[in-house]
């Protein structure tokens, strides 16, 4: 596969899916009668909490890594992240037998550092500011010649994330709508593209915590907005959109819903209690939006992307 | 189907499985590479936490209910339980369109009472002693003519619980061994029978918390022993064996392992963190036993029954 310099087409997403298949799990689409009753809709949950490294990020990192030239691959992958993307890049490198360099803030929990090193990556610690992360990453790339894998603002990554919704549509059949959470927008962009290509009658919706509603405000105003705070339990969604993801979101989405912290925690608890699966708070945002906007979803067949299951069991909100 | 007055045969278990199919979910058998690495074995987890009412109990209650005569069915089902069996009897009655009467200690959480009533059952509260439960149940049966569904010491119930291991063997293929937890012994008896009938080369093992090791001591001594305390987090396993389940366990089991409370909590956390599924503490007992007895299980293909996922998220041990 060649690197993508355009918005992924249906053929690009199909090719990506074929290519990353050995690197990912095909996760199940689960249903839950009692939650359906509460929502008044038929919900199909795409369980990326069961994905390798515990999150959909494996799809995008795998897609980007596989598109590097042999020479680039040899020099390895680099990124800055303390979360799921770090582990996805580290595992992608491990599976390809190439080095990975991960810049992490020195405030990251020891367990995350250990997990990333467990995949064979070299972890480089830096101060916990965006400036320090970026300058440290730059130095690492200079030193090693490794390729920076952006967590979301990259068409190769977007094509990978799009495969989650593609599988969901294959397993659940044509849908009336699909809803995903929005952080940097990589998953949302990919989801919206797969919705258009593979379930063309369906509408794509986004969802965000009220506290970090940059995508909502960007979508409504037509110009990119930034988050003023990061004050949400949905720690995967604190990021601002990138220009590539904003562009796709603006073209493809029907609407974006924002939800309160209370609604996120209640939806998270509901999934744990009724579906017996572990999801991280960011995952609960789309379900919270569905439950809070019943007139929009009532009677419909709705795809819901559950993004990951990496949660600190020692710090649960209930 | 006629009521069983003998240890269930392979044909009995097959017939039971056919009959209860519309009342149960076919739950998945999941695997987890990182836990396999820790155990040095290939583990196949039968996920009864995804079963209706959140536990395998639905299988046994369904089996017993379906074997009643039309006249008995009309008069309804009765039991005493504050746990998964109560909800399983209540839902079985609902699915058959007949009444259910559930005796519960007045100390039961309001949420359990509400859940049982949610299935349309009549809940009768009594003092929290075994004597009060039994005498209250007797009065209910006298008043209503309903049939008492015993939670485990009943061949009809055992035939139902046996279908979980049957499905596991169908999905995972022949196994080297199967391990289940032991409370009253209904699940363990059924598991051991299905192991012999459907994977005849495999050994059946039991597992128990050290704190409530009545089955271990009964198995080793050859005479039924009782628990002196109920001091374990594995609240589903506090019950003593019945004479029918003891009889089967004594004939069919290769061995029983006991595990510490710390090992149970660690195994529970491991499943939540690595497999991203919610299991109750009782479920973690077999995995704790596998991890603590590596020489027994190393290199083998092991079936592990995960019994249920009903846990109070407000009272987690981590």
Q: Do A279 and B277 touch (CB under 8 A)?
A: no
Q: Are strands A42-47 and A29-30 parallel, antiparallel or unpaired?
A: antiparallel
Residues of chain B with pLDDT > 70, as a percent, come to 100
Average per-residue pLDDT in chain B? 96
Q: Give every CB contact of residue B131 below 8 A, 6+ residues apart in sequence.
A: none
Last residue of a domain, one of A148, A180, A198: A148
By a Cβ cutoff of 8 Å, what residues of chain B touch chain A?
Answer: 28, 49-50, 54, 269, 272-273, 276-279, 309, 313-314, 316, 318
pLDDT at residue number B50: 96
Q: Do B276 and A54 touch (CB under 8 A)?
A: yes
Q: Do B277 and A276 touch (CB under 8 A)?
A: yes
Location of structure tokens 């744990």? A272
Last residue of a domain, one of A148, A176, A200: A148
pLDDT tens-digit map of B143-201: 999 999 999 999 999 999 999 999 999 999 999 999 999 999 999 999 999 999 999 99
Q: Give every CB contact of residue B32 below 8 A, 6+ residues apart in sequence.
A: B43, B45, B274, B275
pTM above 0.95, yes or no: no
Dihedral sign, Cα of residue A212, residue A216, residue A219, residue A222? negative
- How far apart are the C-alpha atoms of A165 and A184, rounded to whole Å? 17
Give, as one character, the DSSP assignment of residue B148: E
Do A267 and A279 fall into the same domain? yes
Q: For residue B137, tell me if it sits in a domain.
A: yes
| Shortest alpha-carbon distance between residue B222 and chain A (Å) | 38
Q: Do A313 and B54 touch (CB under 8 A)?
A: no
Give, as one character, the DSSP assignment of residue A130: H
Q: Do B276 and A318 touch (CB under 8 A)?
A: no
Q: For residue A4, tell me if it sits in a domain.
A: no
Provide the residue-wise pLDDT of chain A in tens; the chain has 318 residues.
Answer: 899 999 999 999 999 999 999 999 999 999 999 999 999 999 999 999 999 999 999 999 999 999 999 999 999 999 998 789 999 999 999 999 999 999 999 988 888 888 899 999 999 999 988 899 999 999 999 999 999 999 999 999 999 999 999 999 999 999 999 999 999 999 999 999 999 999 999 999 999 999 999 999 999 999 999 999 989 999 899 999 999 999 999 999 999 999 999 999 999 999 999 999 999 999 999 999 999 999 999 999 999 999 999 998 988 988
Which of A26, A278, A281 is the mutation pick for testing B, counting most B CBs within 10 A? Answer: A278
Domain that holds residue A139: 58-148
pLDDT tier at B71, thresholds 50, 70, 90: very high
Q: What's the CA angle centered on B277, arms B272 and B280, to 5 degrees?
A: 75
Do A143 and A158 fall into the same domain? no
A314 → closest Cβ in B278, B313, B318: B318
DSSP assignment of A38-97 equals HHTSEEEEEEGGGSGGGBTHHHHHHHHHHTS-HHHHHH-EEEE-SSHHHHHHHHHHHHHT
Do B233 and B104 fall into the same domain? no
Among A196, A192, A206, CA closest to A158: A192
B chain contacts of residue A318, beta-carbon cutoff 8 Å: 313-314
Do B45 and B77 fall into the same domain? no
**Angle, in degrees to the nearest 10, between helices B10-20 and B57-66:** 90
Q: Are strands B255-259 and B301-306 parallel, antiparallel or unpaired?
A: unpaired
Do A36 and A181 fall into the same domain? yes
Helix (H, G, I), strand (E, B) or coil at B103: strand
Give the nearest chain A residue to B31 (CA atoms). A50
By a Cβ cutoff of 8 Å, what residues of chain A touch chain B?
Answer: 28, 49-50, 54, 269, 272-273, 276-279, 309, 313-314, 316, 318
Do B164 and B206 fall into the same domain? yes
Last residue of a domain, one of A104, A133, A148: A148
Q: Do A273 and B318 touch (CB under 8 A)?
A: no
Do A168 and A36 fall into the same domain? yes
**In the predicted structure, residue B107 carries a pLDDT above the cut 90:** no
Do B269 and B136 fall into the same domain? no
Domain count, chain B: 2
- CATH for B162: 3.40.50.1100
């Amino acid at each position: 596969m060649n690197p993508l310099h355009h918005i992924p087409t249906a053929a690009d997403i199909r090719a990506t899916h074929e290519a990353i298949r050995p690197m990912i799990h095909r996760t199940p689409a689960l249903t839950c009668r009692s939650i359906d009753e509460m929502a008044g809709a038929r919900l199909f949950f795409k369980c990326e909490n069961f994905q390798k490294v515990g999150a959909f990020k494996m799809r995008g990192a795998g897609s980007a890594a596989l598109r590097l030239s042999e020479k680039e691959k040899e020099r390895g992958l680099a990124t800055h992240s303390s979360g799921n993307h770090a582990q996805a890049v580290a595992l992608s490198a491990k599976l390809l037998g190439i080095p990975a360099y991960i810049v992490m803030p020195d405030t990251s929990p020891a367990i995350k550092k250990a997990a990333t090193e467990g995949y064979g990556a070299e972890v480089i610690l830096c101060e916990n500011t965006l400036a320090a992360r970026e300058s440290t990453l730059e130095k690492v790339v200079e030193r090693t010649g490794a390729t920076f894998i952006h967590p979301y603002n990259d068409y190769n990554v977007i094509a990978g994330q799009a495969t989650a919704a593609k599988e969901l549509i294959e397993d659940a059949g044509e849908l009336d709508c699909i809803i995903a959470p929005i952080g940097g927008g990589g998953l949302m962009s990919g989801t919206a593209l797969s919705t258009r290509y593979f379930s063309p009658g369906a509408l794509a919706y986004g969802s965000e915590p009220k506290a970090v509603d940059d995508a909502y405000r960007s979508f409504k105003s037509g110009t990119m907005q930034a988050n003023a705070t990061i004050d949400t339990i949905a720690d995967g969604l604190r990021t601002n959109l990138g220009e590539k993801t904003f562009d796709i979101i603006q073209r493809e989405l029907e609407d974006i819903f924002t939800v309160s912290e209370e609604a996120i925690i209640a939806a998270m608890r509901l999934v744990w209690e009724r579906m017996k699966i572990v999801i991280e708070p960011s995952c609960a945002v789309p379900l919270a939006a569905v439950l809070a906007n019943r007139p929009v979803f009532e009677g419909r067949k709705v795809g819901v992307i559950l993004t990951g299951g990496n949660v600190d069991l020692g710090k649960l909100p209930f």
